Amino acid sequence: MSTLAAPVETALGPILELRGIHAGYHGIEVVSGVDLSVLPGEIYALVGPNGAGKSTTVAVAACLHAPTAGDVLLGGRVVNGARPQDLCHLGVCLVPEGRSVFPNLSVHENLWLATHAGVALDEIESRAYGRFPVLGTRRAQLAGTLSGGEQQMLALARAVAVNPAVLLVDELSMGLAPVIIAELYGFIREIASAGVTVVLVEQFARTVLGLADRAAVMSNGKIVGAGRPDEVEGVLEAAYLGAL
Ligand SMILES: Nc1ncnc2c1ncn2[C@@H]1O[C@H](COP(=O)(O)OP(=O)(O)OP(=O)(O)O)[C@@H](O)[C@H]1O
Ligand SMILES: [Mg+2]
């Protein structure tokens, strides 16, 4: 049984907050005192070089990785220690790094697995194929044989099928052609304008900063700059050159 009973209150203040988060693996700290505050309805970018701790940070935010210190707050409530599935029911959904589809299941079956949140398969499929018609033409194809871009479309279609309040997306653009990235980001804009809060984690900052309302730059486990995209431009180069 979940210890989290009430739905997320989003009317006031940040919808998602990390306060003083420390996290690591096998006793080695890789996230060192991260504070993040994401407002309802915004697109928030978390950028930084390889190994900065971005994926670990969003895994903590989704309660997939336990912090060693600090708090995760959702709608102002501390949710530390919640099970990821409980957080998902409260409206936080993570699309992890890599192609987060079931490769040995068809497109249709992947969407069917997203019905656990209570939305009917017909509706999920009509939304997915309406937005990404190529998925409709590949309904019976194994997801593992889709192109990289098609797999990300399917991953996003699965994620929005649970009607999230906060969608965390880790490296959406990884390895994809600019035209596909533009299409996926177009979809991100649409879901954000429909009221979903989106946190985009990207290693390649330039692509995502044009889309974000606010951004944070991470380097060596710490936030080294945060603000509007134009305000963080200044620290980007130093972060990527390893000077921060
Ligand atoms: N499961 C794990 N076990 C041990 N160390 C890990 C694990 N996952 C990540 N790390 C280490 O933690 C550090 C931060 O990794 P993380 O994946 O959070 O960074 P990142 O900013 O997402 O990097 P990238 O841009 O390459 O995705 C790295 O040094 C990495 O090697
Ligand atoms: Mg990562």
| Residue 147 maps to a domain | yes
For ligand 1, is residue 221 a contact (CB within 6 Å)?
no
Which CATH number characterizes residue 181's domain? 3.40.50.300
Residue nearest to atom 7 of ligand 1 (CA): 25
Residue 147 to residues 12, 29, 154, 208, 226, Cα–Cα distance (Å): 41, 36, 10, 22, 34
pLDDT at 12: 63
Q: What is residue 113's predicted lDDT score, i.e. its pLDDT?
A: 93
Phi, psi values for residue 166, rounded to 5°:
-130, 125
pLDDT given for residue 2 in this prediction: 38
Instruction: Indicate the average pLDDT of the chain.
Output: 91
Edge-to-edge strand ranges of the sheet holding 69-74: 28-38, 16-25, 69-74, 77-78
- Confidence (pLDDT) at 141: 98
Distance CA 92, CA 135 (A): 25
Classify residue 7: in a domain, yes or no.
no
In DSSP notation, 70-130 reads: EEEEETTEE-TT--HHHHHHTTEEEE-SS--S-TTSBHHHHHHGGGGGS--HHHHHHHHHH
Strands 69-74 and 16-25, sheet pairing = antiparallel
pLDDT value of residue 129: 97
Ligand 1 pocket test, candidate residues 29, 56, 57, 100, most atoms within 8 A of CB: 56
What does the pLDDT look like over 42-56, one tens digit per residue?
999 999 999 999 999
pLDDT of 151 reads: 96
- Residues spanned by the domain of 65: 16-240
Q: Is residue 8 part of a domain?
A: no
Cα separation, 117 vs 122, in Å, equals 14
Count the domains in the chain: 1
Please indicate whether residue 53, judged by its CB atom, sits closer than 6 Å to ligand 1: yes
Q: Which residues of the chain have pLDDT under 50?
A: 1-10
Q: Enter the tokens of residue 116.
A: 């656990």
Q: Which residue lies with its CA nearest to atom 3 of ligand 1? A: 25
Give the pair of three-digit tokens for residue 180. 């596909």
- Measured by CA distance, the residue closest to atom 6 of ligand 1 is 25
The answer to whether position 67 is within a domain reads yes
Q: Evaluate whether 83 touches 32 at the Cβ level (below 8 Å).
A: no
Tell me which residue of 150, 185, 145 sits closest to 169, measured CA to CA.
Answer: 185
With respect to residue 9, please indicate whether it lies within any of the assigned structural domains: no
Ligand 1 atom nearest to 171, measured from its CA = 27
Pick the closest to residue 166 from 3, 5, 16, 7 (CA basis).
Answer: 16
Pairwise CA distance, residues 142 & 162, whole Å: 22
Give the dihedral of Cα atoms 120, 199, 190, 116; nearest 10 deg: 0
Tell me what pLDDT residue 9 has: 45
Confirm whether 84 is domain-assigned: yes
pLDDT of amino acid 244: 67
Question: 186 CA to middle of ligand 1, Å?
Answer: 28
Is residue 1 situated within a structural domain?
no
The per-residue pLDDT for range 23-78, each reduced to its tens digit, is 999 999 999 999 999 999 999 999 999 999 999 999 999 999 999 999 999 999 99
pTM of the model: 0.92
pLDDT at residue 206, as a whole number: 82
Q: Do 236 and 217 meet the contact criterion of CB atoms below 8 Å apart?
A: yes
Mutation choice for ligand 1 from 22, 55, 199, 223, CB with most ligand atoms inside 8 A: 55
Residue 200 domain flag: yes
